[in-house]
Structure formats: structure tokens, C-alpha cells
Amino acid sequence: MTGRLDGKIALVTAAGQGIGRAIAEAFGREGATVWATDLDPTKLADLGAAQARALDARSTAAVDALARDIGGVDVLVNAAGFVFHGTVLDTSEADWDFSFDLNVKSMHRTIKAFLPAMLERGGGSIINIASGASSVKAAANRYVYGATKAAVIGLTKAVAIDYIRRGIRANAICPGTVESPSLDQRIVDLASSSGQSIEAVRQMFVDRQAMGRLGTPQEIAAMALYLASDESSFTTGQIHLVDGGWAL
């Protein structure tokens, strides 16, 4: 199929790398006008036809200004996030606040800023990147991360039910462990802090996946493309596991 998003305008946060980038690329290939944002705009330089904008998703003023500048969108993808490793005893007040600000409140900011114009346009699709490590299942040493992603699922369902009769659909994607530059850095950091080799830490992530391999950003983007398209017009308020069977 081609042209699945013809005529649609989409905004993707954290589009500089990993899942966000794969989603922006997939949307562009399928005909959408894509606004790609990232805290580091240099990561957006080679995204082709996408409209690239710097955005600090932790700034309400910056998000509101972007919404005024862009105007209405048909699809909003919230992909910005951060993984903090550790238990409750490892999590400081600052770690907690940063994690919730970036992983949850950034989505509150963008939804609140872009939803009014979506409603004026007659509807739209909101896609939030959550995680299998959330209310779906527990993952060791993901205390605050799991809490934030559970909150994302709750936020998504709340938006879905509040606007279900007004053409707004909101869904959450819950990936398993996915190959990305951020995962590579986390593996390096964890190897350093634990005294293990990089290869051993990477294998640990692979071994916990039921399929015996990591996912790819493109496999997550395929689900986002479905949820952005009219093919999913009867789907809202749901979690969509793309996790290689991790939650089984």
C-alpha cells in the first residue's frame, strides 16, 4: 500500500533518532506532511522532506509557540522519553521529577497545545509511545520509568474517552526492547556501572526477549503508521504491544 497518509499533517517529537525517526520517515513515505522535532535539531538535518524544528518538550512555552506556528495537525506522535535505571532506593527526587516531566508531562503539553485545532479540523489521531515496562508488566530496575509509562497509558485512555464522540482517537504503543542509539548508550553506561562487558549487557537485553532478538524502530513505526491512518478508525484508547512476546 502507498499513500496511506496522503493529505495528513503529522507532528512527531524526538524524531532525531530511534523510534521517533523511524516514525517520521514512515509517515513521509506514506504521503504525510511531517513536522519533525527534536531537542537537538542537527539530528533532523537529513530527514528529507520533513519540516524540521528544534523543540524542548519540557518547555510549555516552546510547545505552545510551536502549536501556534504550525497550526492544526491530523496526527500527533509523542515519542520523547528517557529511561532511568534503578530501584526506588536509587531514584532521587530529581530523577523522579525529570522522568515524569519528560516522559509524561511533555505529552500533556503537546496534547493540550494541539488538541483544540484537531477538534476544529474534525478529529485526529494521538499516538503516545509507552512501554511494555509499565502497567503491562514489571521490569527490574525500571522503578520510575515503569511508573511514567503506566501514567502514559492512563493519560492516553483518559484523552480517548473524553473525546471519543468528537473524532479524536488516542492510542499507546508499548514496545519491547528496541535497537536504538539510546539503547546503545544505556548498554555502555550499564556495563560501566556494573563492571560487565558491553557484550554481556547487550546479551542480557536480548535474552529477556521471547523471540531471542531485539526489535527494530521500523517495526514500531509500522504500528504507528496503522494508528495514524484511517485503517484504524475504529480503534482508540488501547495499548498496542510490539514487544516480541515479552509480555507473554
Active site residue 145: yes
Structure letter (DSSP) for residue 82: -
Residue 125 burial (10 A CB sphere; 0-12, 13-18, 19+) = buried
167: left (phi over 0), alpha (psi -120 to 50) or beta: left
Yes or no: say if 139 and 243 are a contact pair by the CB < 8 Å rule.
Answer: no
Widest CA span in the chain: 55
Yes or no: say if 188 and 153 are a contact pair by the CB < 8 Å rule.
Answer: no
d(CA 226, CA 240): 11
Q: Which amino acid is at 42?
A: T
Give residues with Cβ within 8 angstroms of 73, minimum separation 6.
9, 10, 11, 35, 114, 117, 118, 124
d(CA 109, CA 119): 16
Structure letter (DSSP) for residue 44: G
d(CA 81, CA 91): 17
Q: Where are the alpha helices (DSSP H) in 44-166?
A: 60-70, 93-100, 106-121, 143-162
Provide the annotated active-site residues. Answer: 145
